[in-house]
Structure 1
Amino acid sequence: MSRLLDDRVFNKETLLDSTVNLVPFFILLFFLVLFVVATPEGWQDGSYYSIYMITMIISMIWGLLHLTYATAKRV
Structure 2
Amino acid sequence: MVSPDGQDVYVGLNMDDSYLVSSHDGGQTFGTPIKTNQSQPGHWWDANGAAIAPDGSVYFLVINFFLNYRGPAEITVVSSHD
Question: Given the two structures, how large is their TM-score scaled by the length of structure 1?
Answer: 0.31
Tell which structure's C-alpha radius of gyration is larger: 1
In terms of fraction of residues, the more strand-rich structure is 2
- Higher helix share goes to which structure? 1
* Structure with more contact order per residue of length (Cα contacts < 8 Å, sep ≥ 6): 1
